[in-house]
Chains A and B, each alone.
Chain A
Amino acid sequence: MSGLSFDQVQAILFIPLAAAALLGFIVNYRLGARINVLACLLTLLVALSLFVTGAPPVGAYFLIDELNIVFIALNTFVGFTTAVFSASYIGHELAIGRLTPTYLRFYHAMYQLLLFAMNLALVANNVGLMWVAIEIATLTTVIMVGLYRSHEALEAAWKYFILGSVGIALALFGTILFYMAAQPVVGEGLDAMTWTVLIARVAEFDGALINVAFIFLLLGYGTKVGLAPVHAWLPDAHAEGPTPSSAVLSGLLLNVALYAVLRFKMLMAANPEAIAPGPLMITMGLVSLIFAAFMLYRRRDIKRMFAYSSIEHMGIITFAFGMGGPVANFAGLLHMVMHSLTKSAIFFAVGHIAQAKGTQKIADIRGLTESHPWLGWGLVIGVVAISGLPPLGIFMSEFLVVTSTFAQEPLLAIPLVIGLLVAFGALMLRLNSLAFGAPRGNSAPVKASYVPMYAHLSLVLIAGVYLPAPLVSWFQHIAALLG
C-alpha cells in the first residue's frame, strides 16, 4: 500500500467518505441527490471491478476474500439503486414540507457516511476495526431515523440508539475477550486482532474463553441483525425513518451485522474445544422467525409490517447458517441476497405508496392495482416474492433451507415450515386488501421512479428461474468455506 497507488479497496472507502464531506456543503438538493447517485454509481463500479482484477493482496487492515466480496457487491448495488429511489422520494417530501433543504443536506451526507461505514465493516481484516465501523453505521442510522423529528421518529431513534448501543457494547466486550484468548498464542498487538491471523491459529486458543466471547458477540451483533428477543428497535426504526433509510437498513445493515457474526462463527468452527455455534444460531433464528410470523397478523402500519417481515427473514437466514453444511449455507447465502433485493424493492414501492396515499395505515390503503397500477403491481410482485411463492428467487432459497433441514434435523423442519406458512398467510391476507378491491383514499398520480424497484424484482425473478452456473459454483465455494 504505497502512498500513490490507489487500490480498489481504498477507493470503495474513499469515494463515499469524500462524497459525504462534499454533500455536507451542497445547498441545492437536486444537485445533492445527483451527486449522491453518482458517488454510489462510482463505488459500485469500483466494487464490480474487483471481479475483473481479482482480490488485492491481504493487508493488516483490509481483506477481500470470496465471502465478503458477495456482501460488498450487494451492498454497493443496493446502495446505488436506493440512491436513485431516494432522489425521487425526497423531492416529494420536500414539496409537502416534511423535510427542509438543511435536513436534506444532512441526510445525504449521512447516507454516504453509512455506506462508507458498511463498506469498512465488510473489508476490515481487523475485528476491532470491524466493530468501529459497525458502531459508526449505527450512529448514522440513528440520525437518519430521527430525521423527521416527529414524536414517533424521536421515540424510534431513541429506542434504536439505546438498544443499538447496548448491543454494540456487548459486541465490544466479546471482541476484547477474543483478543484475550488470542494474545497468549499469537502475541500482543495488532496480530491478535487480525482475522486472517486468528483463523490460522484459532485451534490453539482457550476454548472456554472464546465460548463466552462468542455468546457476547452473538447477542451484541444479533441485536443489530434484529434477532428476537433483542429486535425491539427494528420495527420502530423502519416505520418512522425516511423510506430510503428503511430500505438500506433492511437490505444492507442487517446483512453487515450478520456478516460479523459469520466471521466469528468461522473462527468458532475452527477450534476443536469450543462449543458448536450452530445450535445457538438455530435457536435464535427459529425464535425470530416464529415470533415475527405471528406478529405480522396484528400490524396496522404498512412499513412496520414489512419490518417484521425483515425480522422473519433474518431469522431464516441465521437458521440456515446455524444449520451449516454445504446446502444450508448455500441456501442461507442465496436467501440473504434475494431478501435484500426483494425487501428493498418492497420498500421502494411502499415509500411511493405512502406518499401517494398520504398515510402508512394499512386500513386506509385499498385497491392499489387500480389507482396506481405500476406501484400496486410492483407491490404485488414484491410481496409474492417475499412470501416465498414460485417462480421467484426466495421460493428457491426457502425450499433449499427446508430440504436441507429435513436432511439434517427432520424435527426442526416442523417449526420452520409452520413459521413460513404463518408468515405467508399474514402477508397474503394484507396484500389482498392493499392491492385489490375498490380504491380508497387519494388516487392522484405520484411522481415515482419505477426503475430501481422493477430492476430488483426482475433480478429476483431471473434468479428464481435460472441461476447461472458460475454463480452457483461460486456460492458453493463460499458455502464450503463457511463450514
Chain B
Amino acid sequence: MDGLIFDIAHLLAGGLVLVSFMMLYQDRLYALLNVYALHALVLALSVAWQAFAQDAPHLYVTALIALVFKAIIIPVALHRMIARLGIHREIETVVGIGPTMLAGMGLVALSMVVMLRVTAAADPMAREDLAFALAVVLLGLLMMVTRRNAVSQVVGFMSLENGLVLAATGARGMPLVVEISVAFSILIALIVIGIMLFRIRERFDTVDVHALDRFRGERR
C-alpha cells in the first residue's frame, strides 16, 4: 500500500511538471488559459492525494481552494477579460519554442540535482514533491521571462505559485496559515492585476509589455 501511495503522489507531482511544459509552447491565450486550468486541476488532485496520504484533513481545504479558485474562477475571469480587451490573438514569444523547451529541461534537471541531493535525509515522498515543486517554480519563471504579453506573464506567475503550493503541502504538517495565505495572495494578485490590466487598457489599447517599454521614464 505504501508503495502505491508513493507512486500516485509521484505521478501527480510529475504530471504537474508535464503540464508546466505544455504551457511553455501554447501560443494562443485561450489555449494557455485552458492548460492553466488543467495545471490547477492536477494541483488540486495532487494536494488532495497528499491530504489522504498524510491523513491531514485540512489539506482538503487547500485542494478545494485550488480546484474552485484556480481551476475555475480565475481562468473564467481571465477568459472574460481577454474577450473584453479583444486580445485573443497569437502570443509573441521572445525566444523560440525549441530553445525554451531545452531551457525548461535544463531547469528540471537542475532542480532534481539540487533538491534530491540536499534532502537525502528527508522522507521520500516530501523529497520528490519538493524536487518537482522547484521544477514547476522554475518553469513558471521561465515562462514569465519568455513572454511579452502581460496576461501570459500573469499566467506564468500563477503556475509558479502552484509550484509553491505543491511544496507547501509536501512539507508534512506545515501550518495551514501559509497555505491559505498563498491562495489569498493569488486572489489579491488577481485583483491587482485586474486593476492594472484595465488601466493599461485605458491608456495604451494593448497589454503588450513591449508597448509599456516605449514609455520608459528616462528617454534620451
Q: Give me the interface of A with B, judged by CB distance under 8 Å.
A: 126, 128-129, 131-132, 135, 139, 142-143, 146, 149-152, 154-158, 161-162, 165-166, 169-170, 172-173, 175-177, 179-180, 183-184, 187-190, 192-193, 206, 208-209, 211-212, 236, 239-240, 299-301, 304
B181 lies within 8 A of A151 (CB): no
Residues of A within 8 A of B193 (CB): 161
B121 lies within 8 A of A206 (CB): yes
- The residue in B118, B120, B181 that gathers the most chain A C-beta atoms within 10 A of its C-beta is B118
Residues of B within 8 A of A184 (CB): 121-122
Residues of A within 8 A of B185 (CB): 132, 135, 139
Q: Give me the interface of B with A, judged by CB distance under 8 Å.
A: 114-115, 117-122, 126, 130, 133-134, 137, 141, 144, 150, 153, 157, 160-161, 164, 167-168, 171-175, 177-178, 181-182, 185, 188-189, 192-193, 195-196, 199-200, 202-204, 209, 212-213, 215-218, 220
- The residue in B114, B168, B178, B181 that gathers the most chain A C-beta atoms within 10 A of its C-beta is B178
5 additional contacts, CB 8 Å, given A126-B177, A179-B171, A304-B218?
Answer: A149-B202, A155-B215, A155-B217, A166-B160, A172-B182
B121 lies within 8 A of A142 (CB): no
Residues of B within 8 A of A177 (CB): 130
Contacts A132-B181, A139-B188: A236 and B217 contacting too (C-beta < 8 A)?
yes
Residues of B within 8 A of A212 (CB): 114-115, 118
B209 lies within 8 A of A158 (CB): yes
Min CB distance B63 to A, Å, is 17
**Cα A169 to Cα B133 with chains together (Å):** 12
A128 lies within 8 A of B212 (CB): no
**Cα A162 to Cα B214 with chains together (Å):** 18
Residues of B within 8 A of A189 (CB): 173, 175
A-B contact pairs, 25 of them (CB 8 A): A126-B177, A131-B178, A132-B177, A139-B188, A142-B192, A143-B192, A151-B204, A151-B215, A154-B200, A155-B212, A158-B150, A162-B157, A169-B164, A173-B133, A173-B164, A180-B126, A189-B173, A208-B118, A209-B121, A212-B115, A239-B217, A240-B217, A299-B218, A301-B218, A304-B217
Residues of A within 8 A of B137 (CB): 169-170, 173
Which listed residue (A135, A143, A157) contacts B181, Cβ 8 A? A135
**Cα A209 to Cα B173 with chains together (Å):** 18
A176 lies within 8 A of B171 (CB): yes
Q: Which residue of A lies closest to B220 (CB)?
A: A300
Q: Which residue of A lies closest to B160 (CB)?
A: A169
Residues of A within 8 A of B141 (CB): 166
Q: Which residue of A lies closest to B119 (CB)?
A: A209
A188 lies within 8 A of B203 (CB): no
Which listed residue (B120, B153, B181, B213) contacts A155, Cβ 8 A? B213
B217 lies within 8 A of A165 (CB): no
Min CB distance A28 to B, Å, is 24
Min CB distance A34 to B, Å, is 27
B217 lies within 8 A of A180 (CB): no
Min CB distance A401 to B, Å, is 30
Contacts A132-B181, A183-B171: A158 and B212 contacting too (C-beta < 8 A)?
yes
Residues of A within 8 A of B150 (CB): 158
Min CB distance B205 to A, Å, is 12
Residues of A within 8 A of B218 (CB): 299-301, 304
Pairs of residues from A and B, 4 with the lowest C-beta to C-beta distance, nearest first: A188-B173, A151-B215, A208-B118, A128-B178
